[in-house]
A and B are shown apart, each in its own frame.
Chain A
Amino acid sequence: DTGVSQDPRHKITKRGQNVTFRCDPISEHNRLYWYRQTLGQGPEFLTYFQNEAQLEKSRLLSNRFSAERPKGSFSTLEIQRTEQGDSAMYLCASSFGTPGNTIYFGEGSWLTVV
């Protein structure tokens, strides 16, 4: 088991460009989460999936953000028309079963918008 993997680990993009991050959860984990973390802060919830269904989206997730998990396995998080305020680490996590079960994080994808 390789754990949760995220790609790319680092991305530098110009303001206005689109970026996409991929997350591969631990196999057989049915729940997948996206969080965003800025320097000095704890992770902030963005959205989560149970299998392929997106069950909750945070108000932080503006209409420039979209997340998918088409086959209930890997997930993508796309940010359109990036802004400097989008610079952060985007964390993916997964868990199995019901809420309250342990959630495991990937190493994160750093985004810098210049």
Chain B
Amino acid sequence: AQSVAQPEDQVNVAEGNPLTVKCTYSVSGNPYLFWYVQYPNRGLQFLLKYITGDNLVKGSYGFEAEFNKSQTSFHLKKPSALVSDSALYFCAVRDRGAGNMLTFGGGTRLMVKP
């Protein structure tokens, strides 16, 4: 069975500082990996995905994520955090060979303070 772990319930960072939101995954085959963001009282918005190729993936709003196959990780990063980045972030995995089931991590709340 596939699974996703987001080890931090909350990440606090000062505005202008770099941020990292951690994600590790477990799948039996090759994964698609995703990051989504959820603002209060809203649905999930797609940020970026890893399919294949370059391990550094760039997405919306200046976010990027680094795929590390040996560590089975897909950490979300941003060089300079904004207060408006404060939201709930979800990592998700989809095993290409397992019926396209999409599994989410528990979410990490990012708090960016001025």
Q: Do A and B bind each other?
A: no
